[in-house]
Amino acid sequence: MWLPLNEYSHKFNISISTLRRRIKAKTIKFKLQKGKYLLWADEESTLQEPLLEKKAAPVPVAAPASESTKIVTPPVPSFNRELVDSLLEEKEKRIELLEKHVRLLHQEIDSLQSLVKMLEA
């Protein structure tokens, strides 16, 4: 089930700032709905592991002078395709709504221009 940020924080005794950091790092399953973050919490998975743990990046180890230095890079985080699709769908709906609003405003401008011409005559 999807829980608002504050409910999730209280339920799992995790600070809101920690949850926001994990959202930013994409280490917790979340979605943005009407400007509010919702976090995924189903009883089975949250009892075992309430949050996806952020893994620390490997620290480069200095090689002896005789060996070449090899830098270990942290793994690239994967993204949630479902989340990306959801966000794209929300953006497309928002664009459609704004385009409709622009058309209505153009109609209103046309009406006002006609009224001005009629009053000037």
53-81 residue pLDDT tens: 445 555 555 555 555 556 666 666 666 77
The pair of structure tokens assigned to 85 is 């699709």
Residues above pLDDT 90, as percent of the chain: 40
pLDDT at 41: 86
Confidence of residue 101 (pLDDT cuts 50, 70, 90): very high
CA 100 vs CA 69, 77, 104, 111: distances in Å: 59, 37, 6, 17
Q: Which helix (H) or strand (E) holds 45?
A: helix 43-48
5-32 residue pLDDT tens: 899 989 889 999 999 999 999 898 999 9
Domain locations in the chain as residue ranges? 1-53, 78-121
Strand ranges (DSSP E) for the chain? 2-4, 30-33, 36-40
SS3 31: strand
pLDDT at 70: 61
CA–CA separation, 16 and 70 (whole Å): 38
pLDDT at 22: 92
- pLDDT for 47 beyond 50: no
Q: What value does the mean pLDDT take over residues 38-50? A: 62
Contacting residues for 51 by C-beta, under 8 A, at least 6 apart? 12, 14, 22, 27, 28
